[in-house]
Structure 1
Amino acid sequence: MSLTLNAQIDRVEPPFWYAGMKNTELQIMFYGKDIAQYQVTVSNGIKITNVKRTENPNYLFVTIDTKKISATDLIFNFKNNNKESFTQKYTLKKRRENSAQRKSYDASDMMYLLMPDRFANGNRNNDSEDATTEKFNRELPGGRHGGDIEGIIKNLDYISSLGATTIWSTPLCEDNDAAFSYHTYGQSDVYKIDPRYGTNDDYVRLSSEMHKKNMKLVMDYVTNHWGIEHWMMKDLPTREWINQFDSYTQTNHKRTVIHDTHASKIDTETCLNGWFAPSMPDLNLANLLALKYLTQNAIWWIEYADLDGFRVDTFNYSDPKGIAKWTKSVTDEYPNFNIVGEVWMQSQAQISYWQKDSPISKIQDYNSNLPTVMDFTLFEATSKAFNEDDGSWDKGMIKLYDNFTNDFLYPNTNNMLVFVENHDTNRFNETYGNDIRKYKMAMALIATVRGIPQLYYGSEIGMTGDKGKGDADIRQDFPGGWEGDENNAFIKEGRTPGQSEYFDYTSKLFNWRKTKSVVHFGKMTHYIPENNVYVYFRYNTNESVMVLINNSNETHTINTHRFKENIKDFKIGKDVISELTFDITSEIIIEPKSVLILELK
């Protein structure tokens, strides 16, 4: 990806581009000492449609029209007083075949979320790098532990063996913070993979190796903020590139102000323009230069690394109109491209507001254009329900039932990311004291309800972590990812008996799900829980699956006549885990704290 720069130019971004894009307007940012004083032209008869200068003379934003231009090298000429001063080559590359029509992830997939620094160290040579401040220190819980892209590549077969088809890795671009840089959400260069993870070429190789195994790669993209060490923060293109106040102002995190008809202007401004943290400058997506820069950066990564989707961090912290334009620009370029946004809200109506074509946001004439949202209300329900043994009016399995009763608010329930934990929450197995019965019930739930299931690395071997002890505790190293680890959970013979029980259940469940279109896209009918037992069906014209979750401490005999409208003429059900067969014509006996997933015959 190397780009030879003229001595007068320090950076060109995007570093190259692609011919044949739907949006032919390309904004190229040239950065160098006093570069704005130059007049610029370009070869090959290319039309320059706009030259934008800001109050900072070190930036020049040049927009060209690439329509009908094939892959080629362009030459930009920089003149001063009509005398040529220097030139800069710029490449338009050929796109991959059918790039615009790439297939993304959907409800037929299972997404595996990992943090690269904590997953596996595949290359000891990049544990520390001269170009980045923080060095390797595995003894420090919040330090750099050395996990990298090579570690992911070496363990793709392990991830695939779980039934996972898609990997969402937390950000991989450079984060040069002096401490806690391992999470990489405070990025310092969004065109460069953090050298402690590997190179840009390594990231492309990860994508390629995954595609060979029919797996999909999702990039964690951050539109709301960069890190304080981002190179632009030392020399902003324009004051309006980031949101600024007279003194440091942190966001109030109250994203409800965006749709709240009673919200004050100061609360709204603080929410949208306040910084996430002192180390994370807030990007201003209302600024057209910054918005275009972020849009092109996202599209560049899709083309360059052959990506299959995005997960967008803090989606609804950004300027609403700006983030909607960003999302539409990406999906206009790639009509099948899926993007899931982090919309951490407390009600279904508030989450629905942020999904594309929502009937809720339509009231306010707003459309986020975001295809997929994260089901945080389901997450909240699963973090409590399995400890509530006696199902009453609003306890136990009623919490799960009630979550799905509000699905009418969503325009597309198949485009919901369903999960019981992620890298920002308490570990599920911590919450439930490593009670594997509760883990099995929860995994069965997210594997069989509507939407796209997401598994957080290590949950499948019983890993725990208490967020109350700090983020590092919920982001511990995967055992076996480092040379010398006594316990190697990546391989069957290296797992403890307890780890094996978690792994074997998870693997069998999600590998079964992988081929079941009735679960991916079938309809759902559920029944009001009784005695803390929740029963629901997934079905289409050809298949039917009956799910029974007994969250009580008692064995229950379930009279199946209540479910006649779904059981119809089916006589037996085969449990996908135990492979035992059940007569479903009159009653089913289910053990305490257990689940049955019955394929009806």
Structure 2
Amino acid sequence: MTAPQSVRDLDLKHLASRTFHPSPVAWEDQVLYFLLLDRFSDGKETDCRDNRGRRVTKGGTPRFRPGDEGNAIGTEPEASAWREAGNRWCGGTLKGLTGKMGYLRRLGVTAVWVSPLFKQCSFVPTYHGYGIQNFLDVDPHFGTADDLQELVRVAHANDIYVILDIILNHAGNVFAYDRGYTPYDGATVYPVEGFRAADGTPNLPFGPIDTEAGPWPDGALWPRELQRFDAFTRMGYIRDWDRYHEYLEGDFFDLKDIHLGDGEADSFRPSPALLALCDVYKYWIALADVDGYRIDTVKHMGAGATRFFASVIHEFAQAIGKENFYLIGEITGGRTNAFETLETTGLNAALGVDDIPLRLEDLVKGKTNPIDYFDLFRNSLLVRKESHVWFRDKVVTVIDDHDQVCRGAKKERFCAGAPVWRKLVLNALALNATTLGIPCIYYGTEQSFDGEGGDDRYLRECMFGGSFGAFRTRGVHFFDEENPVYREFSKILALRRKKPPLRRGRQYLREISGDGVNFGLPYVIGGEIRSVVPWSRIFDTEEMVLAINTDVDAPRTAWVLVDGSLHREGDRFSCLYSTDSTRIRGKTIARRVNDVILAIQVTVPAAGFVMFERC
């Protein structure tokens, strides 16, 4: 398929005339999985399972074994080569991802969020996909538009939705200013030397390009509508990331800021560039039948541009039968800003990358009071709602991710730093999956990746091995369905699918007691908490009681309060899941604490997780 050069070449009416895959009824029912396409699969793995569950015996890359850890860093030259490989293209493809839909389905994933896959500038290794040179084509490192269509078809056949990561705020480093020092100062519009050719040289006219002159397909910027001189703000790079106007008009490092329009949200006037990008992203919905977009850097777009785009895309998606096409915004600035942005713009959900990951991690590792995490979902005054239920489908919750802006300069995954954290990563995944929000798994967390190293590249290890494999390896893959974390988490996600309270219920951190008389919330003592941490999810008349144990050395037992209006003394609660399989189907009996309060006794294995429901 030859890529179009202009939005005028897009036959949207014809593309939209077919039948499309319907949207999910409720996105809070879904489990997302976010991956960097270049780092996920090249399709050459052996000793794994294909989409139909059959053992793969052909292929060049064997499965990781514990003795392989560190095999890429035996000498300093080898370690240097491994580190440097993390800054380059590694080889993951759309076809590789297509062949792993069975791996994701068996884990319990129902929606895959794919990093940007559009054509990048050819002279820089922007393997992550955020430096786009052609918004109307797939980068050849990943494959073709036909490969994308096949990926979506196979995903849908495996009951998995597809969400594409998209960018409107900026393009790649597609032109050069005529000077070296270009800081944003609020007034200067810098002259441009020219669009960059395929080798990065800025020798192309800054304006509409004559394709006969040879820049297609690797030079300048496409579609043609973005070649207008007024398509970019041209005000230099951002220095103060929180200064109003600067973060809207400045360049994102060397990525060039696109002028999306003028005016505040209620009086916004879209630019020709934004109108073109709206057509671009309608095209990808119609061509590939995708189910949602994750929109990058929403803060830098502004409320007016975001609202306009959300309205256009929702209307187009509904017109072709995708009634609940989901738009997830990367919104920084905490809960207040996220809520206000959703209310103002019409985005469906915010990506919870600010405070949720660290508070969730610190809770599981016994470093903070549990209420610090649970209060993120119940501050009704902050969000001006009468309850916290809105969070169930308005925030996508994560543990690990590819940027970790919440960590500042020290970046690493949950499992980094000490072997003991690998014992607790299942609890982190379980807490994320069974508390409010739409849970999202970052690729490799289910295989206990540690991301050690300190900067972004180390968070982006290769699942398929190659020259930059996880755990400082090369030449071994990590699609291990026998891994205990993968295996146990798949059981937890299966129960999440089956039990509505785990997806849609209200949420309450529960008080505990050692003697069954004196109750209180679990809290930090002496700098740590080693305790049962329980919570309830209530949906209509059903209550499920869940708990983790932050003690990695010993099981813990506690009396846990339950809802006295839903249960009676003597009611039996059955253990649906425990990390100690011998305790599954064990029973505990509700006893009365006083006239209105009931409690059940719960034992949680060391570093373990349990689920109970009334028989």
Q: TM-score, normalised by structure 1?
A: 0.72
Cα 1:144–1:138 change in 2 (3 A) is: farther
Give the aligned partner of residue 46 of structure 1.
none
Cα 1:407–1:520 change in 2 (3 A) is: farther
Q: Deviations over 1:251-283 (max 9, x none)?
A: 5222xxxxxxxxxxxx311121111111x0011
Native 8 Å contact 1:576 1:599 kept in 2: no
Native 8 Å contact 1:343 1:373 kept in 2: yes
Structure 2 residue matching 1:576: 3-state secondary structure = strand
Kindly state the Cα deviation for residue 524 of structure 1 after the two structures are TM-superposed.
2.1
- 2:328 counterpart of 1:340: yes
Q: Deviations over 1:468-514 (max 9, x none)?
A: 1x32211111146799975443254xx6xxxx122112222222222
Native 8 Å contact 1:104 1:309 kept in 2: no
Q: Deviations over 1:200-245 (max 9, x none)?
A: 1110110111111111110001111110138977534433311222
Kindly state the Cα deviation for residue 560 of structure 1 after the two structures are TM-superposed.
3.5
Native 8 Å contact 2:174 2:256 kept in 1: no
Aligned length: 473
Structure 2 residue matching 1:383: 3-state secondary structure = helix
- Whole-Å separation in 2 of the counterparts to 1:108 and 1:371: 14
Cα 1:177–1:549 change in 2 (3 A) is: same
Structure 2 residue matching 1:332: 3-state secondary structure = helix
Structure 2 residue matching 1:188: 3-state secondary structure = strand
Give the aligned partner of residue 212 of structure 2.
none
Cα 1:318–1:293 change in 2 (3 A) is: same
Between 311-320 and 181-190, the greater mean CA deviation after superposition: 311-320
Between 470-479 and 406-415, the greater mean CA deviation after superposition: 406-415
- Whole-Å separation in 1 of the counterparts to 2:281 and 2:382: 30
Structure 2 residue matching 1:97: 3-state secondary structure = coil
**For 2:402, which of 400, 423, 434 is the aligned residue?**
423
- Whole-Å separation in 2 of the counterparts to 1:176 and 1:501: 41
- 2:373 counterpart of 1:400: yes
Structure 2 residue matching 1:330: 3-state secondary structure = helix
Give the aligned partner of residue 258 of structure 2.
283
- Whole-Å separation in 2 of the counterparts to 1:525 and 1:429: 27
Native 8 Å contact 1:104 1:308 kept in 2: no
Give the aligned partner of residue 252 of structure 1.
240
Give the aligned partner of residue 41 of structure 2.
120
Native 8 Å contact 1:560 1:584 kept in 2: no
- Whole-Å separation in 1 of the counterparts to 2:288 and 2:568: 49
- Whole-Å separation in 2 of the counterparts to 1:407 and 1:429: 33
Structure 1 residue matching 2:130: 3-state secondary structure = coil
- 2:459 counterpart of 1:474: yes
Paired amino acid for 1:381: R
Give the aligned partner of residue 380 of structure 1.
358
Give the aligned partner of residue 230 of structure 2.
240
Native 8 Å contact 1:437 1:593 kept in 2: yes
Cα 1:3–1:115 change in 2 (3 A) is: closer
Write out aligned runs for 1:58-457 (5 A).
92-97=14-19, 102-103=23-24, 106-122=27-43, 140-229=85-174, 235-236=206-207, 237-245=227-235, 248-250=236-238, 252-254=240-242, 267-278=243-254, 280-286=255-261, 287-334=270-317, 335-345=323-333, 347-355=334-342, 357=343, 367-376=344-353, 377-389=355-367, 395-406=368-379, 409-410=382-383, 412-415=390-393, 416-425=395-404, 426-430=412-416, 433=419, 435-457=421-443
Paired amino acid for 1:424: D
- Whole-Å separation in 1 of the counterparts to 2:490 and 2:439: 13
Q: TM-score, normalised by structure 2?
A: 0.71
Native 8 Å contact 1:378 1:400 kept in 2: yes
Q: Deviations over 1:96-130 (max 9, x none)?
A: 2267x644770111111111111111389xxxxxx
Paired amino acid for 1:372: A
- Whole-Å separation in 1 of the counterparts to 2:163 and 2:42: 20
Native 8 Å contact 1:572 1:583 kept in 2: yes
- 2:575 counterpart of 1:574: yes
CA RMSD, 1 decimal: 2.9
Unaligned 5+ segments in structure 1 are 5-10, 20-91, 125-135, 255-266, 358-366, 390-394
Paired amino acid for 1:117: D
Give the aligned partner of residue 33 of structure 1.
none
Write out aligned runs for 1:481-496 (5 A).
487-492=476-481
Paired amino acid for 2:9: P
- Whole-Å separation in 2 of the counterparts to 1:404 and 1:329: 30
Kindly state the Cα deviation for residue 585 of structure 1 after the two structures are TM-superposed.
1.8
Q: Deviations over 1:525-582 (max 9, x none)?
A: 3335325543221122353211122324665432245653455464122132432423
Paired amino acid for 1:551: T
Native 8 Å contact 2:371 2:509 kept in 1: no
Between 553-562 and 503-512, the greater mean CA deviation after superposition: 553-562
Paired amino acid for 1:332: E
Q: Deviations over 1:2-39 (max 9, x none)?
A: 379xxxxxx332532222xxxxxxxxxxxxxxxxxxxx
Cα 1:206–1:177 change in 2 (3 A) is: same
Paired amino acid for 1:490: F
Cα 1:453–1:407 change in 2 (3 A) is: farther
Give the aligned partner of residue 15 of structure 1.
9
Cα 1:511–1:431 change in 2 (3 A) is: farther
> Which has the higher relative contact order, 1 or 2, with Cα contacts under 8 A spaced 6 or more apart?
2
- Whole-Å separation in 1 of the counterparts to 2:291 and 2:39: 23
Give the aligned partner of residue 610 of structure 2.
596
Q: Percent identity?
A: 21
Kindly state the Cα deviation for residue 453 of structure 1 after the two structures are TM-superposed.
0.6
- Whole-Å separation in 2 of the counterparts to 1:227 and 1:180: 11
Give the aligned partner of residue 594 of structure 2.
none
Cα 1:467–1:218 change in 2 (3 A) is: farther
- Whole-Å separation in 1 of the counterparts to 2:378 and 2:452: 31
Paired amino acid for 2:459: I
Q: Deviations over 1:413-467 (max 9, x none)?
A: 1221011111112311115645233212211111111221100111111111136
Write out aligned runs for 1:550-589 (5 A).
550-552=549-551, 555-561=555-561, 563-565=563-565, 567-568=567-568, 570-577=571-578, 578=581, 579-586=584-591, 587-589=601-603
- Whole-Å separation in 2 of the counterparts to 1:480 and 1:427: 18
